[in-house]
Chains A and B, each alone.
Chain A
Amino acid sequence: SQQGEEDPQALSIQEGENATMNCSYKTSINNLQWYRQNSGRGLVHLILIRSNEREKHSGRLRVTLDTSKKSSSLLITASRAADTASYFCATFSGSARQLTFGSGTQLTVLP
């Protein structure tokens, strides 16, 4: 079963706009990671945020983590058509020693 749930399931925006995706999870975690998957391809790691961190930046990506609410958000600024993909959050729990993925958000950036 999947631990995380992404919201929204699908998001369509114009190029240049910002895209925000949310993730909620159920159990305590060591870290939370965001991955991107282009159609028919493997997953690409975007960013990892540890449980003792609240915010992290990488280029046009900004991730926040609220462990009290068991939620995270991924913000992509100044989106590009090439950002069109599915985005997944994944949680790592040391006791389980596995990455548990959510169901994903399908982002479409219109040129």
Chain B
Amino acid sequence: GAGVSQSPRYKVAKRGQDVALRCDPISGHVSLFWYQQALGQGPEFLTYFQNEAQLDKSGLPSDRFFAERPEGSVSTLKIQRTQQEDSAVYLCASSLSGRAPNTEAFFGQGTRLTVV
């Protein structure tokens, strides 16, 4: 497809379970971002990749969160030992370049994670 694809669309996890969320960016896009969006709020930055390099992970809320993009294309966001406060929509976005002004970001539909 032409857009950013995320899977699964919905995930229900029991507290303490590990989860992995996948993002397929638009082919050829250098930059990839992960965001967390709580209900009724704007997206909060988690981490940023330029190709396979994770240049910014300042938004990851704890060491239970880990992201990778080993070949500079598909990315996985992993959350270990999930907790109820991790419940949110996780959005992935890609852009052609990581530099202004070409920073229009294309978002996937998101993965809605519910921790019970």
Task: Give chain A residues whose Cβ lies under 8 Å from the Cβ of B99.
Answer: 94, 97
Residues of A within 8 A of B48 (CB): 97-98
A4 to B4, CA, bound (A): 25
Question: A43-B91, A96-B56 known; A48 and B42 CB under 8 Å?
Answer: no
Docked Cα-Cα span, A48 to B107, in Å, equals 15
Instruction: Confirm or deny: B62 has a beta carbon within 8 angstroms of a beta carbon on chain A.
Output: no
Cβ-based interface call for A18 (8 A): no
Q: Kindly state the separation between the CA atoms of A40 and B103 in the bound complex, as whole angstroms.
A: 24
Instruction: Name the one of A48, A96, A97, A99 contacting B101, with C-beta atoms under 8 angstroms.
Output: A48
Measured in the bound complex, the distance between the Cα atoms of B42 and A100 in whole Å is: 9
Please indicate the chain A residues that have their CB under 8 angstroms from the CB of B55 in the complex. 97
On chain B, the residues within 8 Å of A92 by CB distance are 100, 103
A interface residue numbers (CB < 8 A to B): 1-2, 4, 30-31, 33, 35, 40-45, 48, 50, 88, 92, 94, 96-104
Instruction: List 6 additional A-B contacts (Cβ < 8 Å) besides A2-B42, A41-B109, A100-B45.
Output: A48-B101, A50-B101, A97-B50, A97-B99, A99-B103, A103-B41
Measured CB to CB, the residues of B under 8 A from A are 4, 33, 35, 41-45, 48, 50, 55-56, 59, 91, 93, 98-101, 103-110, 112
